[in-house]
Amino acid sequence: MCGIVGYVGHRSALDVVMGGLRRLEYRGYDSAGVALPHEGRIASAKKAGKLVNLDGILAEHSLPTVGSGIGHTRWATHGAPNDRNAHPHLDAGSRVAVVHNGIIENFATLRDELESSGHEMLSETDTEVVAHLLRDELDRTPVASSDEAEGTALPDAVRAVCRRLEGAFTLVITDAEQPDVVVGARRNSPLVVGRGDGENFLGSDVAAFIEYTRDAIELGQDQVVAITSDDVVVTDFDGRPAETTEYHVDWDVSAAEKGGFDWFMLKEIAEQPQAVADTLLGRHSAAGLLQLDEMRLSDDELRNVDKIIVIACGTSFYAAMVAKYAIEHWTRVPCEVELASEFRYRDPILDRSTLVVTISQSGETMDTLQAIRYARQQRARVLSICNTNGSTIPRESDAVIYTHAGPEIAVASTKGFLAQVVACYLLGLYLAQVKGTKYGDEIGAIIAELERIPAGIQRLLDDADQVRTLAAELVDSRSILFLGRHVGFPVALEGALKLKELAYIHAEGFAAGELKHGPIALIEEGVPVFVVVPPRARDQLQEKIVSNIQEIRARGARTIVLVEDGDDDVVPYADHVIRLPEVPTLLQPLVATVPLQIFACELAGLLGHDVDQPRNLAKSVTVE
Going by the DSSP 8-state scheme, the letter that residue 123 receives in this structure is S
**Which of 533, 532, 526 lies closest to 558, judged by CA?**
526
Sign of the alpha-carbon torsion through 120, 126, 127, 133: positive
Task: Give CA–CA dist 464/531, Å, rounded.
Answer: 17
Cβ 320 to ligand F6R shortest distance, Å: 10
Task: Give CA–CA dist 59/36, Å, rounded.
Answer: 15
> Which is catalytic among the residues 46, 498, 500, 619?
619
Nearer to ligand F6R, 110 or 590 (CB): 590
Nearer to ligand F6R, 313 or 453 (CB): 313
> Which is catalytic among the residues 2, 386, 424, 601?
2
Q: Which amino acid is at 367?
A: D
Nearer to ligand F6R, 279 or 315 (CB): 315
**Which of 132, 100, 98, 127 lies closest to 115, judged by CA?**
132
Cβ 416 to ligand F6R shortest distance, Å: 6
Contact 66, 179 (CB under 8 A): yes
Complete edge-to-edge strand list for the sheet that includes strand 335-339: 335-339, 307-312, 354-360, 381-386, 399-402
Q: Which residue is nearest to ligand F6R (CB)?
A: 314
Cβ 518 to ligand F6R shortest distance, Å: 25
Total count of residues recorded for the chain: 624
DSSP string for 480-494: EEEEE-TTHHHHHHH
Nearer to ligand F6R, 200 or 413 (CB): 413
Cβ 71 to ligand F6R shortest distance, Å: 23
Task: Give CA–CA dist 89/78, Å, rounded.
Answer: 13
Task: Give CA–CA dist 204/306, Å, rounded.
Answer: 38
Q: How far is CA 487 from the centre of its chain?
A: 23
Contact 508, 496 (CB under 8 A): yes
**Which of 274, 282, 270 lies closest to 447, judged by CA?**
282
- Helix/strand/coil for 41: strand
Task: Give CA–CA dist 126/165, Å, rounded.
Answer: 11
Q: Catalytic residue at 619?
A: yes
Cβ 318 to ligand F6R shortest distance, Å: 8
Cβ 187 to ligand F6R shortest distance, Å: 19
Cα–Cα distances (Å) from 496 to 288, 484, 557, in that order, read 36, 11, 16
Contact 370, 396 (CB under 8 A): no
Cβ 517 to ligand F6R shortest distance, Å: 26
DSSP string for 291-302: --TT--S-HHHH
Nearer to ligand F6R, 413 or 593 (CB): 413
The residues of the shown chain that bind ligand F6R, judged by CB under 6 A, are 313-316, 360-362, 365, 368, 412-413, 497, 501, 621
Nearer to ligand F6R, 429 or 621 (CB): 621
Cβ 534 to ligand F6R shortest distance, Å: 24
Nearer to ligand F6R, 506 or 555 (CB): 506
Contact 204, 170 (CB under 8 A): yes
**Which of 598, 481, 460, 606 lies closest to 532, judged by CA?**
481
Nearer to ligand F6R, 165 or 366 (CB): 366
Nearer to ligand F6R, 218 or 501 (CB): 501
Cβ 617 to ligand F6R shortest distance, Å: 8
* φ and ψ at residue 306, rounded to 5 degrees: -115, 0
Instruction: List the catalytic residues.
Output: 2, 619
